[in-house]
Structure 1
Amino acid sequence: MKLLRGTTALSCALAVVLAGTGGAGASGEGAPGVARPVSSIDWQPCDGHAALDCATVPMPIDRADPAGATVPIAVARAKAAKPLQRKGVLMVNPGGPGGSGVDFAFRVAEDHEFSQALLDSFDIIGFDPRGVARSAQLRCDAGVLWETWPWDPMSEEDFGGVLAHNDRVARSCQRDNGALADHVDTTSVVRDMDALRELLGEDTISFYGRSYGTLIGQQYAESFGRNLRALVLDSNMDHSAGVADSLVPENLALERSFTEFAAWCRRTPSCVLHDRDVLALWDDLYAKATAGELGWATPKHLRSRASWSMYDPERWFGLAEFLESAAEGTGAARSARPDEELATTTQPIWCGDWQWGEADSYAALSTYRAQAEAVAPHTRLTPFYEDVLACLGWTGAVNNPQRPLHVPHAPPILMTNSLHDVATPYEWAQNVARHLPTATLLTYDGTGHGNYLLSTCARAAIDTYLLTVRTPAPGTHCPAEWPTAEPAGTTYPNTPAVR
């Protein structure tokens, strides 16, 4: 669906506001509210973050009904530390779906996840996308979300169970969140983002999006490219990908990343498996888990731990220790279920953006799975396989299904991606770059997800681009960086979440 541009779309966003919104303080959760006119943001000090400003800005849940119910969008701002050299607004999103832009703004400003040069020169703006965190966090029936379902369907009956489970989740989310559950897709988010731009009084904005945040950036460029000063897409989603183009690159990325880990361990004396054949050890553990001989761990558990560890090579020390304890029979696993009646979820967001019609039968799904596993003889199957399963049989709204990008107007864009990235494979970035005529793709030749924090070279290139809107030369590569010692105080979850 073609999005409206400029003030046409904006007039809908500005037509409504929640009664008594005031300063949100970035604490607690919003809820749909009643409409009345507004034309500015009422900034107040953020709760617990006095150096930043916070606010809650209502947006229409359904833009076809601009005077109807609204969703409160939580926003945080860190003003440019050197106002005389201010270059404008830099909006940020850390990914997800479900990542909090407000929390990201806190980290960027207070923990210096961004360089001082950026903090000096930009007002950093983070917002929680609709249905996320303080912006009316989606909550659905925990009993439905956490019910036992065939996450690894091996029969027609299992496949039917997947469809039935997802239908129950969709109906639960619609029941517990009302119309919002059907309007949390990324096209809705980018319209909220442009409305925020107008409320901030900015003709143009800069944007840094990481991981799922790149989908927000890509689609903002598509619909509001004339309103962009600069756009950084760090670790890229590919919203044109079908089942095969999703699973095969993801499986290849996990296999190649794990192979890189094994090679690193072999040459790094501080790795506890330095004197072991890591691939052989993994294969043995995987075979035992498949046979049910590791009561504390399933193949899914092993794959999830391996995939999570590939996000940042500093986690490799913990992965090696985990595998060593597993081989010695001292490993343990914990699981947790929410005690609350309603549990948070991002499934309506994901399934509002992705539709996997090619896998509409057990036979088709099995074929795609076999193709994906064939390229990964050691790691077998990416945990993101479940992202395909999550939307099969989904009966909620799918307002933003996959399609190629079409960006007629945009400034020079900087894309960056790791060569080995389990969450957003390099092949995705290459394909997106082909659809962005003004983009330059900077390649980080290492392993991991989120290049600004992984690569000194990529960080410098991103800073330079945001400050000057000058991209690196086409075809530029940044060298891989590898840890030599485990960071002090590092802790590792026993059963890590993949996203």
Structure 2
Amino acid sequence: MVLLRRVLVGLAVLALGVVPSIAPASAGVDSVQWQACAGRPDADCATVSIPVDWNRPGGASTGMAIARHKASKPLQRKGVLFVNPGGPSGSGVDYALSISANPRYQALIDDFDIVGFDPRGTNRSSDIACDQSILDEPVEWVPATRTQYRDLLAHNDRVADNCKALNGKLFDHVDTVSVVRDMDLLRKDLGESKINYFGVSYGTQIGQQYLELYGDRLRAIAIDSNMDHSIGATRYEATAALAFENSFKDFAAWCARTASCSLHGQDVLALWDSLYARASAGTLVDSTGKAVSADELRDLAFEAMYHPARAWFGLADSLKKLGTPAFAPVTTEDNSYQAIWCSDWTWPTVNSYHALADLRSVSEAAAPHTHFSDFFSDVTSCLGWTGPLNNPQHTLRIRNAPPVLMTNGIHDIATPYEWATNVAKQIPTATLLTYDGTGHGDYGNSLCAHDAIDAYLVDLKLPARGTHCPAEWPTAPAAGSVAPSVVAELRH
């Protein structure tokens, strides 16, 4: 019945003298048991079974939550577009439902079945659960003493043991390779011989590793703001620190030339250095008398660098008023982040307090104003970790792949530009589009990159190699703008 309907649609279009643009030939029939998503009758939701351990595909299984919004213009359908928003632990289900209701994505909504899934061990897919009292143990993620370093290692060991005890075998198999295999199983369940993929941030690592294993099963793949799963601790932290430093300098320069910035006319870097020194000395307080730490101050600025249009006006206001209004940065706990991250990343050179202190020195040398990236904890969260390491860093080995579109901002707070240029060298078919601005996620920060991604995914039209998109700077607070203290996006 499904095949017949496709044939009839094609014949009807041909009768009008128009060549149809239909999906690639399917490998079979969609076997997923769909039902309407709660609160979204225009979208379908389901749970599919995946093996807990891909080395034993016939053994224990778990459920993976998925969502789909069918192409709004079926006669233009180009197949399914798998999407992932990053994380690790971001919800692909929520992302697919969000995309399908957002006019900014209209070209993709028209031409693709938008499909998202919650990766194993996250959200609706057996979210990793750990004892909150252990997660909340006071610990310094940037240890300043040997005692703090030893306490950190012991804490990470306790978290790993507790998460393992509460989650069983699944805890041992939440690495990205397992996620990639789940994604390909979903491709088969949907009856598709080839898929399309759009991933952002950590979602680019999923895309890169899908290219390694199943590159010939992709029609098109766009990866926006790229991870580099081939680098060690020193390069990771030095580039991340420099990205924060350069992003904040962009903010300061923007204030200097933007009359509507509340810090216009002031030396923003000098103000920041003064606030940071006071916070480090314990003398910076909010209107309630509560001390504002250097970590909290740095988080305030770090979060605002993701989306300048949404957060820079609020950041300027917060820095100007700091010490007068109440200040309450948001912190979030994510059980699955650490378990997934430390299944994929290892830092063997950071094997002592001395080595960690050297790493901090490298970071602070790269960033004299902002000091180090908030992703310093991406290293320290895995020190002393006793969970499995199934997918350590390696250079990509890609043999069968379609043309790949990569995009990255030159001052991307979460995925530094240097990472993208290094990954582009590892993907023979890659075209890297550069956004000459600040922010994370080019599809949302750059109209030029947005249009290029649409053109490639829909029509397979790549920009010329070496293409740059101009920087876009906020001119007025955008609708939906928020103070950076409530932008909880401290993740890739």
Deviations for 1:224-283, whole angstroms, at most 9, x for unmatched residues?
Answer: 001011110100000001101110111111000100000101111111101211000000
Query: How far does residue 418 in structure 1 lie from its aligned partner after superposition?
Result: 0.3
Distance 1:95 1:274 in 2: 34
2:407 alignment partner AA: T
Cross-structure match for 1:201: 191
Distance 1:335 1:308, change over 3 A: closer
Alignment partner of 1:73: what SS? strand
For the Cα contact (< 8 Å) 1:442–1:472, is it kept in 2?
yes
Distance 2:331 2:205 in 1: 31
Query: How far does residue 345 in structure 1 lie from its aligned partner after superposition?
Result: 3.5
Distance 1:352 1:486 in 2: 40
| 1:72 lines up with 2:63 in the alignment | yes
The one of 411, 433, 437 equivalent to 1:442 is 433
Cross-structure match for 2:472: 481
1:464 alignment partner AA: A
Distance 2:460 2:481 in 1: 36
TM alignment of 1:312-331, pairs within 5 A: 312-314=307-309, 315-326=311-322, 328-331=323-326
Query: How far does residue 372 in structure 1 lie from its aligned partner after superposition?
Result: 1.2
The one of 102, 107, 119 equivalent to 2:109 is 119
Distance 1:429 1:337, change over 3 A: closer
Cross-structure match for 1:306: 301
1:320 alignment partner AA: A
Query: How far does residue 493 in structure 1 lie from its aligned partner after superposition?
Result: 5.4
Cross-structure match for 1:429: 420
| 1:396 lines up with 2:387 in the alignment | yes
Distance 1:48 1:173 in 2: 33
Distance 2:332 2:99 in 1: 31
Distance 1:438 1:490 in 2: 38
Cross-structure match for 1:173: 163
Cross-structure match for 2:172: 182
* TM-score relative to the length of structure 1: 0.89
TM alignment of 1:217-296, pairs within 5 A: 217-295=207-285, 296=291
Deviations for 1:14-40, whole angstroms, at most 9, x for unmatched residues?
Answer: xxxxxxxxxxxxxxxxxxxxxxxx982
Alignment partner of 1:81: what SS? coil
Query: How far does residue 330 in structure 1 lie from its aligned partner after superposition?
Result: 3.0
Query: How far does residue 65 in structure 1 lie from its aligned partner after superposition?
Result: 2.1
1:226 alignment partner AA: D
For the Cα contact (< 8 Å) 1:86–1:121, is it kept in 2?
yes
> Can you give the 5+ residue segments of structure 1 that lack an aligned partner in the other structure?
1-37
Alignment partner of 1:245: what SS? helix
Distance 2:448 2:230 in 1: 29
Alignment partner of 1:92: what SS? strand
Distance 2:140 2:445 in 1: 36
Cross-structure match for 1:104: 95
The one of 151, 155, 172 equivalent to 1:161 is 151
CA RMSD in angstroms, aligned pairs only: 1.5
Distance 1:493 1:465 in 2: 33
Cross-structure match for 2:446: 455
TM alignment of 1:464-479, pairs within 5 A: 464-479=455-470
| 1:128 lines up with 2:118 in the alignment | yes
Identity of aligned residues (%): 55
Distance 2:132 2:101 in 1: 34
Alignment partner of 2:246: what SS? helix
| 1:297 lines up with 2:292 in the alignment | yes
Distance 2:484 2:192 in 1: 42
Distance 2:215 2:103 in 1: 29
1:491 alignment partner AA: V
Distance 1:202 1:334, change over 3 A: closer
For the Cα contact (< 8 Å) 2:49–2:63, is it kept in 1?
yes
For the Cα contact (< 8 Å) 2:93–2:118, is it kept in 1?
yes
When structure 1 is superposed on structure 2, of 287-296 and 476-485 the one drifting more is: 287-296
The one of 33, 42, 55 equivalent to 1:42 is 33
2:345 alignment partner AA: W
Distance 1:205 1:337, change over 3 A: closer
Distance 1:269 1:495 in 2: 25
Deviations for 1:441-485, whole angstroms, at most 9, x for unmatched residues?
Answer: 000000000000111110111111011222111100000001100
Distance 2:65 2:146 in 1: 44
Query: How far does residue 373 in structure 1 lie from its aligned partner after superposition?
Result: 0.8
For the Cα contact (< 8 Å) 2:260–2:476, is it kept in 1?
yes
1:307 alignment partner AA: F
Query: How far does residue 492 in structure 1 lie from its aligned partner after superposition?
Result: 2.5
When structure 1 is superposed on structure 2, of 105-114 and 487-496 the one drifting more is: 487-496
Query: How far does residue 162 in structure 1 lie from its aligned partner after superposition?
Result: 1.1
Query: How far does residue 182 in structure 1 lie from its aligned partner after superposition?
Result: 1.0
Deviations for 1:93-146, whole angstroms, at most 9, x for unmatched residues?
Answer: 0000110000001110012341x2211111110000001111111110101111
Distance 1:368 1:417, change over 3 A: same
Query: How far does residue 331 in structure 1 lie from its aligned partner after superposition?
Result: 4.1
Distance 1:64 1:443 in 2: 39
Distance 2:318 2:434 in 1: 30
Query: How far does residue 333 in structure 1 lie from its aligned partner after superposition?
Result: 2.4
Deviations for 1:350-388, whole angstroms, at most 9, x for unmatched residues?
Answer: 111111111011111111110111011111111100111
Alignment partner of 1:229: what SS? strand
TM alignment of 1:131-146, pairs within 5 A: 131-146=121-136
Distance 2:315 2:111 in 1: 39
2:240 alignment partner AA: E
Distance 1:182 1:458 in 2: 38
Distance 2:53 2:148 in 1: 36
Distance 1:234 1:494 in 2: 25
For the Cα contact (< 8 Å) 2:304–2:484, is it kept in 1?
no
Distance 1:119 1:478 in 2: 24
Query: How far does residue 491 in structure 1 lie from its aligned partner after superposition?
Result: 2.8
Aligned residues: 456
Distance 1:195 1:271, change over 3 A: same
For the Cα contact (< 8 Å) 2:315–2:484, is it kept in 1?
no
1:60 alignment partner AA: P
Distance 1:335 1:44, change over 3 A: closer
Distance 2:479 2:452 in 1: 28
Distance 2:468 2:354 in 1: 41
Cross-structure match for 1:90: 81
| 1:408 lines up with 2:408 in the alignment | no
